[in-house]
Structure 1
Amino acid sequence: MGSEHPGGLSSVHVLPWILVGLLFAVYSTVSVRLHQRMLTTGYDLGIFEQAVRSYAHGSAPVSALKGPGFSLLGDHFSPILASLAPFYRLFPSPVTLLIVQAVLLSIAALPLSRWAYRSHGRVAALVTGLGYGASWGIASAVGFDFHEVCYAVPLLAFSVTALGNRRWRAAAGWALPLLLVKEDLGLTVMAIGIYIAWKGSRRLGLALAFVGVAGTLLEMLVVIPAFNPSGSYAYSGSLLGAAGSQGGTLRSLLYLPMDLLTPQTKVITLVLLLAPTGFMALRSPLMLLALPTLGWRFLSENPAYWGTSYQYSAVLMPIIFGAFVHSLSRWAPDASLQNRRTLRATMTISSAFTLLLFPGFALSQVFDPLTWETPPRAAAAHRLMEKIPDDVTVAASNRLVPQLTNRCTVTLFGSPHTPLTADWIFVDTESPMGFPISVQEEAESLGQARKHGYRTVAQDDGFLLLHRSTA
């Protein structure tokens, strides 16, 4: 299928790894530069670093940003994060999380591009690998901190590839660890099981579907509430959907189609999901695997789930590009001139959409000169941070939090979850985010802090450092 290389390696083996290396370089560059430019946040990079730091020191995944002694297992069920502990123990930095995320997201291109190469050759591998790698769902995840779903992306890529090649046991094996990534992914495991039962081994598929549903119910109804101080699953309201909150089961069912497609943001997201494949992904039954994620997102009351921002679409990208490769299989590349023309047209359309969408999302920052310039204010912030000792408690602005979480116990200044008991306060008064409190409320809170014994230690270029002695 591919030309031979020295040592007996063929292009089908080499090219996918080259794509993985290229994507890793881009992902790690963008995310690390965002952190160095102080554009990462406590919500969410700081939260995950606190959990991983706890695992690295042999304790439960506690995040002070979520509340005093709050275990992240009471927020989302993501024990797979414990696998980061050895790496973090060696390199205790938020950059470790960002690098691991870059590795995981880039490795997903391996099975997809290899499958495309074996099916349709080098061009198909390039279009698929780069299409997935430059897709806006992956770009949005890379551009926004670290998230546990980065583990799900390669697992889904390998599972979908196995499904497309009718390797049912391998598909099930790659799908099962999704239950350790996040509680809602059990529904995707269920969908993979249903697909296997439909297309291949009924017994294996039904067993996998049962495990997926049972895992999600167990995690949402038992495990997470057991770790949550409220004794409940905090996101049940969101997952029940907007229709469910409007009163009445019959009314909810009647409004269900409308809730899936309104407001217009949801339709735009659907179009943008399918556009990079030239809408060819719709021709593959593998697209059914995307329904659980699309369902809970579009039925949710949370508008953040509906659009193209954040990490929520990352898990859909390996499914969509797997469906894309699968859909191409109906045109054998050597069968006829018409088939070859159809394949070339499809590849061209897919590449055109990828190029068209690329500038609007985070990965395009690699070509932005500002990416390579560290703002002068960052130096001022680090000068003030050097005055904060290790292993103390700090209440900080959202973008300052992940600059300190590797060596201090950090809370979010103004957070309603955490009373102000920190030894230090470190805030950005020149460029406040307005989260979790407004700019005016932040100024008022600083005034109250001074009344309760906090004194100014230093201020520079809009950054303010306060300290309260506990002696």
Structure 2
Amino acid sequence: MNNSILSVDTLQRHGKSGEGTVAENAPETSAGISGKSLLLVSGTFFLIYLLLSARRHAANLTTGYDLGIFTQIVRSYSEFSAPYSDLKGPTYNTLGDHFHPILALLAPLYKAFPSSYTLLVCQAALVAFSIVPLMKWAHKAGGQNFAYWVGVSYGASWGIAALIFFDFHEVSFAVPLLSLSLCAAGRKNWRAAALWSLPLVLVKEDLGLTVAAIGAYVAWKGPRVTGLAVAAFGAGATALEMLVILPHFNPLGQFAYLPPETAEEVGMLAQAAGALWPPVKWLTLLMIVAPTGFLALRSPILLVALPTLAWRFTGSNPFYWGMDFHYSAVLMPIAFAAAVHTVANGVTARRLLPACVVGAVATSVTLVTHPLHEVVLPRTWSDSAYVRTSDELLGKIPDGATVAASNRLAAQLADRASVSEVCLFPRSFPPKERPEWLIYDVADTSDPECPTGKALESADPGVPGYRVVETRDGITLLRLAGDGKGSR
């Protein structure tokens, strides 16, 4: 039997109108999609993710915020200590910033392979694996061709691409957990849906609300007691993390990402309207469902995205509103699970083809704007003079040294030295002892108010207490004075 979900034979069997549902038209099979097919799609995307992220790190395009911070966290866990990050501040316990103890799972691998690349390999593997549950369910719902469409469209989706492009983030653990949980929920395997959702509370503090949303869906469509218990657990975990755990470890004694206070005269309606403005928020909403050919809009599973959208759109940080960085990665498995659910519950074969075409067009457009395609560009694989210079100057810093580095260079040192942020030195969270080395990149515009940069770019360049070792291509390496090895 032809596996095509829209084959001529299929349409003929269900009449000229082709109004049989895709679930009815899909071929009967007991084995499901083959392991080779799953390996082909997920393995290909694993290589793409890994090549792109590893090459960006090799080209010094990763940053202290965030790959450097996460490297320090995992390095701390591998040394059986609390998750400290000097890039956030001297002996800064990052459990006061975000709640992500699941990162401890990476400690054994980091112990065996102590490198920032270890984090990038694990992220690529986690995200690539998340394709598998979606493809398995898509095959059962709509056949082999639909499964391939889901796997490729999801793997190349802009939210996933943005995560891979921008360093490493803890939400890479959330992506496969959401895929497993929502696929189980869509197939009415309620116990698995609940169990796969629970670890999300260990990934990030806001994801407890997503667990609560999954629990609400389970209570609505399945066993009420189980669903309500999961919902209560998720909401309670977020409350505990935001109100107790994070403030306890935060140096200021509060949750670091509290929403801004609103003027008393601003009414509830005005606040609600503000959550949907500026228009970039509408673009984000459109592009969450567009890669699914808008199939996701027809499934209640899409409601699981509401907690994430709520905190992002009510936040004051404009980075939360758009399509950049890693913030939308957790929305991609929700949207595609909703799309598969739609097909599994009655979309007609005649209507599916236009939806798949629309989704393919949307994904093709975002491939240009979101950089998975860079893996095949020649410039990605060539080292510039800047990279060669920065590597040479970074190589002068010995392993185990204390260093304050520019954001663009910090990630290169986080796995072999004690690194802090040069633009925070000595402005805030001053270290007890001054770092032995400073390395500053004039082209790094991460912090326009950088005190070290202003000192080096002044009429009489220099940093009090330090000697310039070398300056090349806008990168200045300094060493603490008094060692007799620096020179001006």
TM-score by length of 2: 0.89
With over 3 angstroms needed to count, the CA separation of the structure-2 counterparts of 1:461 and 1:205, relative to structure 1, is same
2:408 match: secondary structure: coil
Q: Which one of the candidate residues 346, 359, 363 is aligned to 2:355?
A: 346
The amino acid of 1:424's aligned partner reads W
Name the structure 1 match of 2:307: 292
CA contact (8 A) 1:136 1:361 kept: yes
With over 3 angstroms needed to count, the CA separation of the structure-2 counterparts of 1:161 and 1:341, relative to structure 1, is same
Give the C-alpha shift of residue 246 in structure 1: 2.9
The amino acid of 1:80's aligned partner reads I
Q: Which one of the candidate residues 387, 395, 419 is aligned to 1:378?
A: 387
Q: Which one of the candidate residues 42, 49, 55 is aligned to 1:27?
A: 49
What pairs up with 1:70-469 in 2 under 5 angstroms? Answer: 70-237=92-259, 245-247=262-264, 251-331=266-346, 339-415=348-424, 416-419=427-430, 421-429=434-442, 431=443, 433-438=444-449, 442-444=453-455, 450=462, 452-469=464-481
CA contact (8 A) 2:50 2:120 kept: yes
Q: Deviations over 1:357-393 (max 9, x none)?
A: 2111021211322111121221221211221111111
Q: Deviations over 1:317-351 (max 9, x none)?
A: 0000000101112337xxxxxx3222222222222
2:148 match: secondary structure: helix
CA contact (8 A) 1:79 1:180 kept: yes
The amino acid of 1:236's aligned partner reads L
Give the C-alpha shift of residue 298 in structure 1: 0.4
Q: Deviations over 1:28-68 (max 9, x none)?
A: 11111111111100011111111111111111100001111
CA contact (8 A) 1:12 1:117 kept: no
With over 3 angstroms needed to count, the CA separation of the structure-2 counterparts of 1:252 and 1:142, relative to structure 1, is farther
Give the distance between the partners of 1:295 and 1:12, measured in 2 at CA. Answer: 39
With over 3 angstroms needed to count, the CA separation of the structure-2 counterparts of 1:72 and 1:470, relative to structure 1, is farther
CA contact (8 A) 1:396 1:426 kept: yes
Which structure has the greater CA radius of gyration?
2
2:89 match: secondary structure: coil
Higher deviation after alignment, 388-397 or 194-203: 388-397
Aligned residues: 452
2:419 match: secondary structure: strand
Give the C-alpha shift of residue 449 in structure 1: 8.6
CA contact (8 A) 1:2 1:10 kept: no
Q: Deviations over 1:9-44 (max 9, x none)?
A: 764433122211011001011111111111100011
Higher deviation after alignment, 156-165 or 450-459: 450-459
Give the C-alpha shift of residue 396 in structure 1: 0.8
Give the C-alpha shift of residue 255 in structure 1: 1.7
The amino acid of 2:227's aligned partner reads G
RMSD: 2.0
Give the distance between the partners of 1:417 and 1:81, measured in 2 at CA. Answer: 27
1:237 match: secondary structure: coil
The amino acid of 1:419's aligned partner reads P
Give the C-alpha shift of residue 144 in structure 1: 0.4
The amino acid of 1:455's aligned partner reads R
Q: Deviations over 1:84-140 (max 9, x none)?
A: 111111111111111111111111100001110111111111111111111000111
Give the distance between the partners of 2:45 and 2:96, measured in 1 at CA. Answer: 33
How many percent of aligned residue pairs carry the same amino acid?
A: 45
Give the C-alpha shift of residue 279 in structure 1: 1.2
CA contact (8 A) 2:242 2:255 kept: yes
1:246 match: secondary structure: coil
Give the C-alpha shift of residue 2 in structure 1: 9.6
Give the distance between the partners of 1:442 and 1:45, measured in 2 at CA. Answer: 22
Give the distance between the partners of 1:451 and 1:99, measured in 2 at CA. Answer: 38
Give the C-alpha shift of residue 452 in structure 1: 2.1
Give the distance between the partners of 1:190 and 1:32, measured in 2 at CA. Answer: 35
Q: Which consecutive residues of structure 1, in runs of 5 or more, have no partner in the other structure? A: 239-243, 333-338
Q: Deviations over 1:365-424 (max 9, x none)?
A: 113221111212212212112211111111111110011111111111111434372110
Give the distance between the partners of 2:33 and 2:95, measured in 1 at CA. Answer: 43
TM-score by length of 1: 0.92
What pairs up with 1:12-51 in 2 under 5 angstroms? Answer: 12-51=34-73
Higher deviation after alignment, 185-194 or 274-283: 274-283
Higher deviation after alignment, 390-399 or 11-20: 11-20
The amino acid of 2:228's aligned partner reads L
Q: Which consecutive residues of structure 2, in runs of 5 or more, have no partner in the other structure? A: 4-29, 484-488
The amino acid of 2:242's aligned partner reads M
Give the distance between the partners of 1:58 and 1:290, measured in 2 at CA. Answer: 35
Give the C-alpha shift of residue 445 in structure 1: 5.6
CA contact (8 A) 2:455 2:463 kept: no
With over 3 angstroms needed to count, the CA separation of the structure-2 counterparts of 1:388 and 1:308, relative to structure 1, is same
Higher helix share: 1
Q: Deviations over 1:147-199 (max 9, x none)?
A: 00100000000001001000111000000000000000000000000000000
